[in-house]
A and B are shown apart, each in its own frame.
Chain A
Amino acid sequence: MNIFPLMLVTLSISALLIACQDETVTGAQDTQAQSFTQASLSAPQQGDFSVTDVTEPQLPPINSSRESLSFISVPAKTLIISPPSDSHSSSSDEYWTTVTGAELNRGVSLSISQASSVIRISPRADTSSGALMHSQSISPDKIQLINLDNKSSASKSSSNIHSLADPQALATAGLTDNSSALIMSSSAKPGKYQLKVSVPLAAKSSYLVNVKEKHSPYQLKLTSKFRVSSLSRSLDFNISLTNSDQPLRPTASLKHSDGSYQTLKLVSNHGQWQARLPETLAMPSSNQGLSEIQIDMQTRVNGIEVIRTVKTAFKQFVPSAKIQQQVNTRWREGVPVSIAFNLDIAAQGRFALSGYLTGSDASGQDKTILKTESANWLTLDNSAMLLKLDPQLIQESGLSAPFKLMGLELKDQGQMARLSYQQEALILEQ
């Protein structure tokens, strides 16, 4: 048993000696076979994006590590290097609105477009009075739902409700905001209903009423960009309502990750909508999390009132860095060893670069050899970054020149924002 560790130590020291010998030999080779080339990044293509003018971020960085880290990996052979998605679509078959405790006690009018809809009442925090107010949860047996279109006995609350769920039950299943819910009867007709709470609530307390109409034919779809620069004054988006050709008259709000809302002015241009970002408090108060645009609309389709709310998230970022055009490639024995970049930055911060090295196969097709990533803390005095390559992996790939750097991406790890992407960044020529 004791021999084994000794063998390991011996093996390790032998390996170490070999490594040292190799290092000495490599050093001698370096002076003979090493070379450097300088080249410009390729011209941007469709789908590429970058920063024009760098600006200094004002918020504390999420990652302020000073570690210099590099990582090389071999991607799956099936990988297709493609530009990242720049937008997201959300669809909604629901709406929500905020009401006060007094309004719930008096009765709130709700438009319902189909049977078996779900109505949820959720207490919300409110700071409108200057102090933070927490609203009390509502016991479901204190909720009434009356059909305002039907004055007969069938309009009694109990006939419109199929089942009720209390906050404790909903919390165990993931609805963790102290809400109560009711599922409407399958025989309930579309139309106007009054939602009323019989227990006295604090008059100014805040509640969210959420109407969910699962499988509704009327889905509001919102598509907008994933990333919005702090220099941008607007946010473009598209909306459409399925099974309706009615013109839409939406309203929009900007919601930051701290929960605060601001109303946005909208401009329409041939079906494309543009939300004007506010002059003040346009940017979030933290780099953590995302901002959201929320769209509300109501219309009539086939005589039925349809109300929808939809939201989608995006990252607001300060354009804090860009890659300079000139890059230097280090070569050894005809194989690229590393690529050096310089960044334009407005302030110190932690930035990450990544890209894919490709080589050419016997038929002239570009194949991916490796992915290289690097991150470092950059200052105004030292804004250089190095993407290391692995000569052994390159040689083992059997691929040859022309080598290319594809999918070059720059991220700001302080803001957690992607700053630039270039699909075909560089052809490495010795």
Chain B
Amino acid sequence: MKNYYKLILLGLFISSPLIFSPLSYGASGIVFIHGTGNQTDAATDYWSREFIDSVRQGMPEPANYEVINCNFDQYMWDEAAAGCLANQLHTFIQHKNIDDLIMLTHSNGGNIVRWILSNPTWDSRYIDIINATSRVIALAPSSGGTPLADAVNQGSVFETTLGWLLGYGSDAVKQQQVSWMSYYNSTWLNGTQNRPTLGKPFEVVVGSDVDSAIWDGDSYCAGYQYQVALETTQNWLDDCSDGFLECSSQSAAGTVWFTDKQKTAGREPLSHQQSRRACFNLDSLIRNHI
């Protein structure tokens, strides 16, 4: 029995690079984790090459980065969502011997990361990820949900409504309704007030306003067409919002690193579309922070 135990230990030492990593092989790495949506090329379709390449220069080894592509239209716990994220993170950690992982999330990506950090006994892959994670930088996380998710789920919304057919609506949108997130925050997600902490720093960047005046050139960063629509949907939101999420939702979990105008170039606000792009020096703020 004792010999068997020794063999298991030996096997672990030889087969697991993570065992070696604390000695000297440990490396730093950064992953870019998108928000709601089923991404296959998030580097170009969700983030932008400019943003990714700028941010990763702040890492000791800029080549150690990964852009996640998963189906975040599903509930956060779904194998296609957190399971997919766990697989991609796990592979990245193993291949690069990462023991100092920074996760950069946007919007609902923050919820899926919180799901993993909060539920180590759900899935064995989560434990390795938790152990390798140093911190999370959450750009406009939808920690408290959004009234816009409530609005699109009003009435008899069936799985096959037009929204679903067109790829708009999803279980992830259902999950981000305000009272749903309140339930999940009280039961399955850590990091909000009066709940256990996440065990890792969860640093939040809050977008507080939408600037869409047609004569304002700043409105064009990340697309003018979005800005006009965002200002319309402000009617469903608090006065402090990024056009999709209220400030109170973004700051509901973790600690606020900064609210846009405190640090952005020209004290410009970051709309929900802008907080994942190289707008108003956001990329260099993150680069210098990591």
Contact = CB atoms under 8 A, between A and B. Distances in A.
Contact of B229 (A118, A170, A178): A170
A96 B151 CA distance: 9
Contacts of A65: 122-123
B225 interface: yes
B161 A177 contact: yes
Interface residues of B, number: 70
Dominant secondary structure at the B interface:
helix
B120 A69 contact: yes
B146 interface: yes
Nearest to B243: A173
A413 B122 CA distance: 8
A71 B121 CA distance: 7
B288 interface: no
Interface in A355-386: 371, 373-375
B178 interface: yes
Contacts, number: 213
Contacts of B6: 16, 20
A125 B232 CA distance: 25
A125 B235 contact: no
Interface stretch (A104-112, A186-194, A206-214, A267-275): A206-214
A20 B9 CA distance: 9
A59 interface: no
Interface string A293-305: 0000000000000
Nearest to A95: B154
Interface stretch (A43-51, A84-92, A144-152): A84-92
Given A85-B186, A172-B225, A290-B180, A98 B155 contact: yes
Greatest chain B CB density within 10 A among A118, A212, A313 is at A313
Interface of B: 2, 5-6, 9-10, 13, 19-20, 23-25, 75, 77, 120-124, 127, 130, 146, 148-152, 154-163, 165-166, 168-169, 171, 173-175, 177-180, 182-183, 186-188, 194-197, 199, 225-226, 228-230, 232-233, 235-236, 243-244, 272
Given A24-B2, A174-B243, 11 more contacts: A71-B130, A90-B178, A124-B155, A134-B161, A172-B229, A172-B230, A177-B151, A210-B151, A212-B235, A313-B177, A371-B196
26 contacts: A8-B24, A20-B9, A27-B2, A69-B121, A69-B123, A69-B127, A88-B186, A90-B179, A98-B155, A118-B235, A124-B156, A126-B156, A132-B160, A169-B229, A173-B232, A174-B149, A174-B152, A206-B156, A208-B154, A258-B159, A260-B156, A309-B154, A312-B179, A315-B183, A352-B121, A416-B188
Closest 10 CB pairs of A and B: A176-B168, A375-B121, A173-B229, A71-B120, A177-B152, A169-B229, A208-B155, A313-B179, A125-B161, A174-B148
